[in-house]
Amino acid sequence: MEFLVDMVTSVPQGTSEQAVAEIRTREAARAGELAAEGSLLRLWRPPLAPGEWRTWGLFRAEDAEQLERVLASMPLRVWRHDTVTPLSPHPSDPGSSEGSGSSGGSGGSGSAGGSGSAGGAHGSGAARGEAPR
């Protein structure tokens, strides 16, 4: 099953730049591990308000409980609020491996880019834990 996760990070006031850099480094490493194991499919950076640190992620998990374990394993979770949207296959998904009109299968995994990387060219800064510009 695939899930779209809206991840909004709020660094507590007074947190040192060194502490932020350290947790971002750990987050990037964990994102790479999750991508390698197939749990993290893609990352995107939506339009941001000034000072906002936000990422959209496409995750794959067996169910909501497994997804929660994956999200809880990410270091930035201590500063982050996640909004999870479960996704279901669309019968007309052009990225579906079963083709148009199919009612089964993984539903749209092809539309995730299929690279297995944490975001490819789009969102790679989020995988590295970079703050918005």
More confident residue, 39 or 101: 39
In the prediction, which pLDDT does 96 show?
80
Quick one: average pLDDT of 107-126? 37
Q: How far is CA 88 from the centre of its chain?
A: 17
What confidence tens digit (pLDDT) does each residue in 46-87 have? 998 887 899 999 999 999 999 999 999 999 999 999 999 999
Q: Is 71 helix (H, G, I), strand (E, B) or coil?
A: helix
In the prediction, which pLDDT does 50 show?
83
Torsion, CA 124, CA 94, CA 65, CA 28, rounded to 10:
-10
Would you say the pTM of this structure is higher than 0.85?
Answer: no
Rounded CA-CA distance 113/72 in Å is 24
In the prediction, which pLDDT does 120 show?
36
Checking if the pLDDT of 123 tops 80, the result is no
In the prediction, which pLDDT does 98 show?
56
Checking if the pLDDT of 118 tops 50, the result is no
Pair 82, 68: CB distance under 8 Å? no
